Amino acid sequence: GNSVTQMEGPVTLSEEAFLTINCTYTATGYPSLFWYVQYPGEGLQLLLKATKADDKGSNKGFEATYRKETTSFHLEKGSVQVSDSAVYFCALSGGDSGYALNFGKGTSLLVTP
């Protein structure tokens, strides 16, 4: 069945550092890929998505590219801010998952001043 694996946290970075959070997936068919973010005390929010191979999703300075050849959807940001401190979840839907989202375990990011 479908599954998502993302790098374990916590990740601690200084402000303005470069961020990469790795995400790989296993899926049949052609899933859509997502990054969700959960800020402290808040609900899950969609950060970005990509629906087909080589698509790049982007939002708020974050980017991720749907790489079918490496089954990856790594999240990147060139310069993180303290306000980016949150838990980031990689997820997929489609293929065997149908419409349900299949999430990774989440990666906690702490950005220090």
The string of DSSP codes covering 70-87 is: TTB--EEESS--GGG-EE
Instruction: Compare residues 45 and 81 and give the one whose CB is closer to other proteins.
Output: 45
Measured distance CA(41)–CA(34) in Å, rounded: 21
> Nearer Cβ to other proteins, position 57 or 111?
57
Least separation in angstroms between residue 9's CB and other proteins is 10
Rounded to a whole number of angstroms, the minimum distance from the CB of residue 108 to other proteins is 9
By beta-carbon proximity to other proteins, the closer residue of 29 and 99 is: 99
CB closer to other proteins, 79 vs 90: 90
Chain positions contacting other proteins, by CB under 8 A? 4, 32, 36, 42-46, 49, 51, 89, 91, 93-94, 97-106
CA 57, CA 42: separation in Å to the nearest integer?
23
The distance of closest approach from Cβ of residue 95 to other proteins in the complex, given in angstroms and rounded to an integer, is 12
Q: Are 58 and 1 in contact (CB under 8 A)?
A: no
CB of 87 to other proteins, least distance (A): 9
Rounded Cα gap, residues 88 and 15, in angstroms: 17
